[in-house]
Structures are given as C-alpha cells and as structure tokens.
Amino acid sequence: MKVVLRNPRRELEMEGPMTVTKLLGQLEIHRDAVLVIRGDTLVAADAVLDDADTVEIRPVISGGAI
C-alpha cells in the first residue's frame, strides 16, 4: 500500500493487508497523535488496509482561542 506522511511530507510503500494499528506500530507512530485517511474517509484503528490502498497519515493539530 502507499502511505503518505505529513510533516515532513514523504511516501512509503508497505506490504498489506494489515490493520491501521499494526501500520502505525511498524512506523512507530502513536495512534492518538495522527489521523489515518483512506480516500476521503477517516479510518478506525481496527480497519484493515490492503495492498491497493493509499492512506494519508496526518498529525492531529489542536488549538483554540483564548
């Protein structure tokens, strides 16, 4: 599968199928720190990703007004 990471932007190829949790574990990324998106859909931690998938991993950014 194609994995697109942000900050810094880079692309990786990973062998599937695997769950989102397993993918993030292999990349040493904490699940609560990112959003995983397949197409236009946010995917859950237990979702299975296949070789044909392209997923984007975006950091969670929070903020607000004082």
Structure-token pair, residue 52? 């044909």
> pLDDT digits over 28-54, tens only?
999 999 999 999 999 999 999 999 999
Structure-token pair, residue 35? 């959003």
Residue 66 pLDDT more than 80?
A: no
CB atoms within 10 A of CB 39: 9
Q: Which amino acid is at 18?
A: M
Domains and CATH numbers, the chain: 2-59 (3.10.20.30)
CA distances from 66 to 22, 48, 57, 60, 61 (A): 38, 40, 29, 20, 16
Residue 4 pLDDT more than 90?
A: yes
